[in-house]
Structure formats: C-alpha cells, structure tokens
Structure 1
Amino acid sequence: MFLRTLLQTASILPFLYTSASAQTACNNSPSLCNKAYNNITHLGTHDSPFLRNNSTSFSTSGNQYYDSVTQLDAGVRLLSAQVHKSNGTDGSTQWHLCHTSCDLLDAGTLSSWLGKIKGWMDNNPNDVVTVLLVNSDNASPAELGAEFQSSDIDQYAYTPSSSSAPQTWPTLQSLISNGTRLMTFVASLTPSSDFPYLMDEFTYVFENDFENEEPTEYSCNPDRPTSLTSPSQATESGRMFLMNHFLYSTQIFGIQSPNDTYVNVTNAQTGLGSLGEQIPKCTSVYSKPPTFVLVDFFNRGPAIVSVDTANGVTGAVGRKSVSTAAPDEPTSGVSRRQGSLLAVIVAVVVAVTFGV
C-alpha cells in the first residue's frame, strides 16, 4: 500500500512542478515570462528619485510623490534619473542625482540610489528592472561604472549581444535565469568595452517629444535621436519606442515644472490626452505597443492600469498598493510649494548673475 502511494505521488510530481513553474510571475505576471524584453510595455517613472513630498518640502521640481523603492513595489519597472557632477566637501568629484541643477533639487549620490535598487532586486528575484540615466555632465563610462560597482548592482547587469540596433532581446525568463536582470541605458554616452552593460540609449531606443504643456500636444512621432524623422524610419531602425507621457506647467520666469493638476487625466484610462487613449494611438502607428511608457506621479490614474491593458495582463500578483492621492500639503503661512518656487527663483538669479 505504501509503495503504491509512493508511486502515485511520484507520477504526479512532474505535473506539480510544471504547474508551479507556469504560475511563476515575471514582472508581476506569469504571462510575461516568455515574452521578449522589447515586446513588453514597461511602466517607467520620469525623474524617479525627485520627489514632491514632505522630504523635499513639496518641491515644485519633484516628479513623483513616492520614492523609487515604493515605485518598484507598485509595479514600475523603469526608473529614470538625471546625473550631475557635484563637488564633495573634500574637493572630490561626486556624481549626484539632481533635477536640472544640484542647487535646485539634490537626491543624493548615484551609488546610494543604485544601492537601494539593488537591495530591492535582491528581494525580488523574478523581476527585470531598467535604469535610464540622463548624463547631464558627460560622465565617462568609467565614472558611471565605478558607481555601479560600488553599489554592487553591476552583478545583475545585462550586456547586449550587439553594439547596434536591431538586436535580439531575450525573454524576461531568460534574463531572470541568467542573472542579468538589470538593463541600463544612458543618454549621451560613448560606449566602452570596459563597461559594456552601460548601453547608449539612442542606439537602442527612440523617444517622442517630451516638452508638452497641453494634453492636445502629444505625438507618436520620433523626436530623439534627431536622425529619425518619421515613424517608418523609427520602425526600420529596430529601436525600441519610449513613449514620454507627462505635462509641464510654466511658472514665473518661464520655468517649467511637472504638472500635477491635470495628472488624474494624464495618467488615466480615458480623457483628453489620457495615457489609456494615447498608448493605442501609438500602437496603431508602430503596429505594436511602446516598449516603455514614462510618466510623472505614477500612482495617479493609476498609470499601471493602462500598461497592464497594453500587456494583456489581468490579475497581476506581487504588487503593493499605493494610494492614488497626493500627499497633503500645508495650507497656512508661506506654503512649502511657495517656498520651493522661491528657491527656483533664487537658483535662476544665481545662474544668470554668475553664468552657472
């Protein structure tokens, strides 16, 4: 009797293993595991580390309400940031995440931010994460590579099979199985064989215009790299499409700041200039959804709903819920928003006066 039971149990083990494997979620869904990296729409946060909450006195330069780890917990899989050169107290050169200027909004060192992402990846072994860096002060591959090494996140880095587009991108499951779950693109970078995982963004990616102030201004046409002048050229180049989808507001002195007053529609499924309506428009232009969608204030809308629709994902697992409300802001006295705007004015005056 025991032997018969043992044999019966053994006979169903392959089925149990197959069923368990089939239910393994890659980037929060089993249905994404066998899809190529470039055939998935990844939700991205524009200027991920630059926050508009109590930690920054509700800076008008902030693009997100919640930090990068919270973004990842909620389903974001692309994090973008600006890298600037900053002088340390000892006179050494440091690489910081700053919004336009380190005098305006400084989110700390690049290595520290990468370390937090690495910690999240350690705890989430079935997720592929993309980092997109705007190389504002022309850091060399060696300088950026040192930041990746010091944070130890380079152990997850993916190296492309080709130094030009198009290339064959692996499936999420392949990236996970091979331990190469970090994709890194850098705008304005001359590639180096010493750090081959630092991929020049515009070799592999094209973007639409991003300086929009009205919901009627969105376009699917390629804007960067400037060598691409039409959707057909972009398609033929084999590059992946990063769809910028956020609005700016113009403040005093013509300063642009992220628009959070219309974001409930910007990131929604329906409405004028909504994410849910813009993705299908661009899908019809390129015969496939964008590979990346970049938004401000990702939790509003929320943006993840439209991205799930593009991916055909239902019943996503492993995400942590985030409030769709904006953080409360003081209403008495000189508000923190006003204080932040004064800081912007001061920064502009200093820049104009001293030519910095």
Structure 2
Amino acid sequence: MRFTLLALLPLALANPLNKRSTACNNSPDLCSKSYGEITHLGAHDSPFVRDSSTSNSIAGDQYYDTPTQLDAGVRMVTGQVHKSNSEWRLCHTSCDLLDAGLLSAWLGDIKSWLDDNPNEVVTVLLVNSDSASASDLNTEFETANITDYAYQPDSLTSAPSSWPTLETMINNSTRLVVFVASLTTDDSYPYLMDEWNFVWENPYEVTAASNFSCVPDRPSSVSGDTSTALSSNMLPLMNHFLYSSDLSSLGIEYPNASYVATTNAASGGTGNLGSTATRCKSAWSGRQPTFILVDFFNRGPAIDTVDNLNNVTNAVGRTSLTTSAAGSSSDGTTINNVFKGLVELAEAAAAGSTPTMGNWIWVGGNWGSVLGGGISL
C-alpha cells in the first residue's frame, strides 16, 4: 500500500488544480486558455458605488461593492488613486466628491476574496491620478498583505508575445495582475506594470450610444492605428460605458444610468455591448478584447457578452444578481429630480443670460471650482 501511494504522488503533484476544482474563472473551459486569450469583464470605477451608503451619489459607477462584483463574475476592477491628507485613497475625481476609503483597505478586501476563491485570477487597474510612485503603491499593497499573489512579467518595458494559462497562474499562486496608468516602473516592484506598456484602449469619453469606436486611442504610440496596436503584443481593453451630457453647458459629465440596460445588453438597441464587441473583434482581425470595461455591470447583464466571447455555456460558482438598478432611485430619473434647476440655469446661461454666482449655488451647490473647466465623473 505504501508503494502504491508513493507511485501515485507524482501524478497528484503534476495536476494540483484538479485536487481543488475543475473550473478557472468560473468555467472549466477556461483553465487551458491563456490570460491574454480570453475576455475578462471589468467594473469601471469599481469602488465607487451608487447606493444608500453614498446617498445614491450620481458619481457612483456601480450598484454593488467590489467583493460582490467579483462574486458575480467580474475579473477586472479599476479605481482612481488620489493623495489626500498624506494618505493614498480611492476617490472619484476628487476626494470631496466621492471618497471610497483607503487604497490599502480596498486591496485588503480583494486579498480576502482571493483567499476564499483559490481558482480565480483577478486584474486590478489603478488610475494614478496623483502620480504615486511604485514605492508608494507597493507600500499600500504590502499593507494589504496581497503581494504574494502578484504576477510578475519577464519585462516591465515590453508586452510578452504570450501569457500563461489561467491554470498555470493558479498553480503558481500568481493570481493577481496589476496595471497602473500611468507609472514610472521600478524593478524593485516588478509586479507593478505601467498599463501603457501592456494594454491599449479604445476611446472612453463617449456621450452618444452611436459613437462607440473600435479605433485605438491610448497610448499615443498606437493612437488611430489598429495595425500597430494589434502587432504590439499589448492587450486590447474595450471601454464601453456612456457619460450623460445633460450638464454639458457646465462641462460636467456623469455616468449614464438611464440607458445602461441597453449599453450593457448582449443585443438590441443602439450601442449595445454584444454588437459592439462583435464589431471590434472583426475590426481587430478576429482578436477579441482581453478586457471589457463597463459601468453598472449587473445591468444587461454585461457578463452575457463576455460569456459569448469566451464560448462559456457552463459557468459555475457565480452569484446571480438582479439586472435592475439594485434599488437606486437615481436610475433614469436624475435629470427630472436632482438636476432640473441646474440644467435650466445652465441652458439659460448658454442662451446668453448671465446668472450670478448666487444663482449657481442656490440650484446646485458651489460650482465655482468647476466653471473654468470640465469634469468627468
């Protein structure tokens, strides 16, 4: 009996994944796929939630918090990093507008989720709004005790021609991929990758459903040049979220929740996610987007399009969420209820009147700080 067990040991060690589970990122069909070969659903501005905890802030881009997003199949989470009172915090445009707390605390939540879900690979994309150094960010990751999960590329300056399979990343316990836009990389922290060395994106500031584009926009090295982008080995990220332009008179944009059921749908309606993804895949010579980034991911739901791209029909281990606005009273009613007076005043100003600062404060708060320039929420 002892000989039999020892003889079987190499077989068990050769395939440790099967000892835990046969599914990777919620599907057994994805285990043998490379990280760069599949499509990962991304939650745009993941920590900025529109719910009762934020008084249904119109700056919120999601109806559920990050762990719930991950439970439901999201595999890329993004957030904006700002420095406030000597702390690195997750804030939407400004910490005075929407403050989601310490970066390290959010990373700690992701670490706990990875602990509880050993067969899942997660990507974090940080928008480096206040130019944190690699050392600054590493301190936050160390505080969250999450660095042991981090994947390290062979080079920080050029994208690889191929990525490891999900199964390999899981077996190696390198299940966290970290991109930062933008970052001066440091070999001392090889897991912190500058996004623009590894990822290219289509345009993101879209206010009309008919204007979603597949043309590369960032980084500048591939802007407007699909051929160069596709030959760069960088991973394509497809932004697919709408801003509302109802306050365009003030240069203010905020997430468009009223149309998102169509924006995130697998089919039907102008600018739906499924048709746009199919169009981009065709424009990219059959290359499907590695990441699809959406607002209010549960609407649509957006995961249907991602499953279609990945040929996943047997997803397991996901939490099912309502495809409604999750109780938010602001979905589809923002202009009628919250901004009616402000919109009317902005329209009057655009028509040639000269409202006083008191008028602006009365209808919408102190907008003096933004009247000189636009702001995207």
TM-score by length of 2: 0.83
Residue 269 of structure 1, CA deviation:
1.0
Given that 2:339 and 2:364 are in contact with CA atoms closer than 8 Å, whether structure 1 keeps it comes out as: no
Please give the alpha-carbon distance, in whole angstroms, between the structure 2 residues aligned to 1:126 and 1:343.
Answer: 53
Residue 285 of structure 1, CA deviation:
1.4
2:233 pairs with 1:235: no
Task: Pick the aligned partner of 1:73 from 71, 74, 91.
Answer: 71
Query: Could you say which residue in structure 1 is the equivalent of 2:320?
Result: 321
Please give the alpha-carbon distance, in whole angstroms, between the structure 1 residues aligned to 2:25 and 2:173.
Answer: 14
Matches within 5 A, 1:290-329: 290-329=289-328
Please give the alpha-carbon distance, in whole angstroms, between the structure 2 residues aligned to 1:352 and 1:337.
Answer: 19
Query: Any idea what the Cα deviations from partners look like across 1:299-337, whole Å, max 9, x if unmatched?
Result: 000000110000000120000111111133459xxx995
Residue 349 of structure 1, CA deviation:
2.0
2:99 pairs with 1:99: no
Query: Could you say which residue in structure 2 is the equivalent of 1:90?
Result: none
Secondary structure of 1:193 counterpart: coil
Please give the alpha-carbon distance, in whole angstroms, between the structure 2 residues aligned to 1:181 and 1:264.
Answer: 31
Q: Which amino acid aligns with 2:260?
A: V
2:204 pairs with 1:210: yes
Q: Which runs of 5+ in 1 are unaligned?
A: 88-92
Q: 1:347 to 1:136 in 2, by over 3 A?
A: farther
Q: Tell me the number of residue pairs that the alignment of Structure 1 and Structure 2 aligns.
A: 336
Please give the alpha-carbon distance, in whole angstroms, between the structure 2 residues aligned to 1:289 and 1:343.
Answer: 49
2:162 pairs with 1:168: yes
Please give the alpha-carbon distance, in whole angstroms, between the structure 2 residues aligned to 1:347 and 1:97.
Answer: 23
Residue 288 of structure 1, CA deviation:
1.5
Q: 1:336 to 1:150 in 2, by over 3 A?
A: farther
Q: Which amino acid aligns with 1:206?
A: W
Query: Could you say which residue in structure 2 is the equivalent of 1:37?
Result: 35
Given that 2:50 and 2:328 are in contact with CA atoms closer than 8 Å, whether structure 1 keeps it comes out as: no
Secondary structure of 2:36 counterpart: helix
Task: Pick the aligned partner of 2:243 from 232, 245, 248.
Answer: 248
Query: Could you say which residue in structure 2 is the equivalent of 1:349?
Result: 368
Query: Could you say which residue in structure 1 is the equivalent of 2:375?
Result: none
Query: Could you say which residue in structure 2 is the equivalent of 1:120?
Result: 113
Query: Any idea what the Cα deviations from partners look like across 1:242-277, whole Å, max 9, x if unmatched?
Result: 000010002431210000111111100112111111
Q: Which runs of 5+ in 2 are unaligned?
A: 331-335, 343-360, 373-377
Residue 350 of structure 1, CA deviation:
3.7
Query: Could you say which residue in structure 2 is the equivalent of 1:111?
Result: 104
TM-score by length of 1: 0.88
Q: 1:344 to 1:41 in 2, by over 3 A?
A: farther
Please give the alpha-carbon distance, in whole angstroms, between the structure 1 residues aligned to 2:32 and 2:127.
Answer: 30
Please give the alpha-carbon distance, in whole angstroms, between the structure 2 residues aligned to 1:264 and 1:95.
Answer: 34
